[in-house]
Structure 1
């Protein structure tokens, strides 16, 4: 297969600026007729080109005036997990003036950067047959002054692109297998942890997977943090206290491309809500969590990790309607 990344990358960076009279033809050239888009709550599953247009692309164009897409990472590779095939993965922002409600989130009438993590299955004819997308609507609520949670655990910030500024269709795709090997080894050891200090085998130190100066960029409600100590303090400790039996790694896609890798599960985690979490008392409910991780590695270490989680769906399972709460006067 030639560089299969180019056609979807061009399409996704064109479709929002395409006049309505030309959109149907563009969609037909780049999306299979029976395409499936699974999008984070409250959108969820969209079936077919017409549904994708009317329930995803058009709402973005209407809510974020003069919307444009700004990719920070766009990679592709053969999928190590079932169902196989070739996939692209992207971390991007949709930016525009937030002038009308979007999926229930009330507007700010100001510039907004909507984070989005995206995975696309690319068929041999270059068209997209399947997509998984997590929109960070909680962070969008924060930008609109309607943050529905009592606090942010880490530092809330605009997600930066890779420090190396080379995340969009990187060169040296063959190196992606080595990059993915490193990330898979890390994930395998991350599953087990010491309940006293929340550490896991082999994560840090001279022989560890993570660079000492690792950066972990977390979604709305969690925030970002620096070095492993910050990651434990601002995310891992509270998460494992609330969900101590969590089991992750149920991924439908794992790809590597140059110094970058991306993995995702829909859902990836299963767990029980056994402790308080960001203002929600333990419910003892069985929960699932949709997850996307994007990694940049160098010198045999993980340097940066961008994380997208469907927290609107997670909190709904815990009995909180964050979309409804932020819409109240």
Structure 2
């Protein structure tokens, strides 16, 4: 299995070769012919490798000139959820000059780092199921047309782990995944008056005092638990007080890292204003990917990819149309 993972890792990088033929050979080496692809909105479900090339990979290569894949986290492990299987989980950026339109998003002709959260199920040495969240709202922000207007946390490039060891770190991930599952179990229940949940912070808490939380476009990143509550948790709970999460198809761990994902993970009702959108009263779902680094029995860093393109579409908001209608604010 380790040989397969190394080969797949190399093939995923090879998809960004300058030569189209070499890129397609790498795609064939990474993915089975009938791989099931699930992308974030507006692409959504794509059946088979050839269709994924035409729908996503070729347009991405055309839009991001001279693009390269730059992994920050790349781990593998056996899935603890009932679905089972061996999975890869990755946080990466596609780095290039945003020189052509992508899925209708107007280009900037400047350097862009398109962040991506990815989960891949492996069988017989190839990926047979792929789930990918492209952070298109953050790409719009980088192009100078932020559809959210910077309402919450600090919008920034996702950094790699502080320990610089997130690529196939090795080691057993049981303790890391145990910690994450315990945290999630307590985080789900909260006091509606204060928004607090059992055991998250303080002595013996799940989160380190100097935790860093890296959020998607629209939410941004923050520092320490107070920053997380201010910039994400409090606004989210105010808008979606009945949110229920944890519907995950995959939970894996490797070394000091763990990753979870649900498609969707959350169900909730839109009962308060969120990111400038008044309450709609609609029942909504949210696709989620979380990646964690643990240290000393606590969570030190958390990278979060959320399909806000899909969430906002459910609210009746077309982020691409909104962004393209804006005047550029950079350059």
**TM-score for both structures, normalised by structure 1:** 0.97
8 Å CA contact 1:91, 1:116 repeated in 2: yes
Other-structure match for 2:61: 61
Aligned to 2:224: 227
Q: Distance in 1 between matches of 2:246 and 2:4?
A: 26
Q: Secondary structure at the match of 1:295?
A: strand
CA RMSD of superposed structures (Å):
1.2
Distance 1:213 1:246 in 2: 27
Figure out how many residues of one structure are paired with residues of the other and give that number: 326
User: What corresponds to 2:150 in structure 1?
Assistant: 151
Q: Which residue of 1 aligns with 2:137?
A: 138
Deviations 1:21-73 (A, max 9, x none): 34444333321111011000001111111111111111111000000010000
Q: 2:14·2:23 contact (CA, 8 Å) conserved in 1?
A: no
1:170 is the counterpart of 2:169 = yes
CA pair 2-70 structure 1, distance change in 2 beyond 3 A? closer
Partner Cα distance (1:214, 1:224) in 2: 11
1:279-301: CA deviations, max 9, x gaps? 10000000000000000001100
Whole-angstrom CA distance in 2 between matches of 1:242 and 1:3:
46
SS at match of 1:16: coil
Give the alignment partner of residue 255 of structure 2, picking from 253, 258, 261.
258
Q: 3-state DSSP class of the match of 2:316?
A: coil
Tell me what 1:284 maps to. 281
Report if aligned partners of 1:5, 1:75 keep a CA contact under 8 Å in 2. no
Q: Mean Cα displacement is larger for which, 99-108 or 15-24? A: 15-24
Runs of 5+ in structure 1 lacking a partner? none
Alignment of 1:1-329 (within 5 A): 1-17=1-17, 19-123=19-123, 125-172=124-171, 174=172, 176-328=173-325
Question: Is the CA contact 1:179–1:260 (under 8 Å) kept in the aligned structure 2?
Answer: yes
Preserved contact between residue 11 and residue 29 of structure 2 (Cα < 8 Å): no
Structure 2: unaligned runs, 5 residues or longer: 327-331
Q: Is the 8 A contact 1:16 1:57 kept in 2?
A: no
User: Kindly tell me: are residues 318 and 42 of structure 1, through their superposed partners in 2, closer, same or farther at Cα, counting changes over 3 Å?
Assistant: same
Tell me the TM-score normalized by structure 2. Answer: 0.96
C-alpha separation in 2, matches of 1:328 and 1:34 = 38
Q: Deviations over 1:87-126 (max 9, x none)?
A: 0000000010000011121100000000000000011x21
Distance 1:32 1:15 in 2: 14
Q: SS where residue 132 of structure 1 aligns?
A: strand
Q: Matched residue of 2:16: which SS?
A: helix
Moved more, 271-280 or 13-22: 13-22
